[in-house]
Structure 1
Amino acid sequence: MPTPTEIRLKRAERVLDVSFDDGARFSLPAEYLRVESPSAEVQGHGPGQKVLVAGRREVGIMRVEPVGHYAIRIAFDDLHDSGIYSWAYLHQLGREYAERWAAYEQELAAKGLSREPPPRRRG
């Protein structure tokens, strides 16, 4: 399995750039990483239990932390931080970005949901 040679957080652009030793390079948007989080909160505890996460267009990444020599934990500014992104999963997310993103947008539309965050309450 490919191993990252560089992981660079671009906070202002809300992107995580990942380069792998097989030559693959991916720029993964924070929103994409958030809605595809490997956490049980998003993926569920079994097949067919994945939760559709809406309203995260503006989500950012606060920090990226190593987990051993096999993964990273990403802390998002919506306070989600329980997903552990293995090297294999990061590589898969990069390879499958176009298909996964199109499916995500279709599912949002089918359920009448939006990528836009909910309006902020005053008071």
Structure 2
Amino acid sequence: MSGEIYDQAGRPKPQEVRLKKSEKALLVSFEDGHSFRFPAELLRVESPSAEVQGHGASQKQTVSGRRHVGIMGLEPVGNYAIRITFDDLHDTGLFSWAYLYELGLNQENVWETYLDNLARAGLSRDP
């Protein structure tokens, strides 16, 4: 590649992915200059898996009890995604670079919505 910072679909490419196991966080830097720190809990409860997202917006599940979840490992999937294995053994979501980028941009709102959904359902972040 000739230093392109965007893929063929016009989405930013990742520059660096760093797992911080002790901090229970994933750091992702993109070639356009954006960098995001994702807590493992956020990634777990917003997993792009069918188990969490369902098969449509109305089927999305509110996942509770994941305050202390960690990340055991990362596995690249082609040039477009990573598979994250969490220590609760969830590993079915493929986190595309585009998904992580959008999640990073909207992290604050996504987190607040998650907390609101937990409260509305009478659920807790604690196991």
Query: Which band: TM-score by shorter chain?
Result: over 0.9
Match of 2:7 in 1: none
Count of residues paired in the alignment: 117
Unaligned regions of 5+ residues in structure 1, if any? 118-123
Which of 75, 80, 86 is equivalent to 2:85?
75
Q: Which amino acid in 1 is paired with 2:21?
A: R
Unaligned regions of 5+ residues in structure 2, if any? 1-10
1:31-110 correspondence to structure 2 within 5 Å:
31-110=41-120
| Cα displacement (A) at 1:47 | 2.8
DSSP-derived class of the 2:22 partner = coil
| Cα displacement (A) at 1:110 | 1.0
The two structures have a TM-score, normalised by structure 1, of 0.94
In structure 1, what is the Cα distance between the partners aligned to 2:27 and 2:86? 16
In structure 1, what is the Cα distance between the partners aligned to 2:63 and 2:121? 11
Match of 1:120 in 2: none
For the pair 1:10 / 2:23, whether they are aligned, the reply is no
In structure 2, what is the Cα distance between the partners aligned to 1:93 and 1:63? 20
Q: Deviations over 1:19-78 (max 9, x none)?
A: 001100000000000000000000001231001100000000000100001000000000
In structure 2, what is the Cα distance between the partners aligned to 1:111 and 1:46? 19
Match of 2:8 in 1: none
Match of 1:24 in 2: 34
DSSP-derived class of the 1:92 partner = helix
Taking only the aligned residue pairs, the percentage that are identical comes to: 62
- After TM superposition, what 4+ stretches of structure 1 lie above 2 angstroms from structure 2? none
Q: Which amino acid in 2 is paired with 1:10?
A: K
Q: CA RMSD in A?
A: 0.5
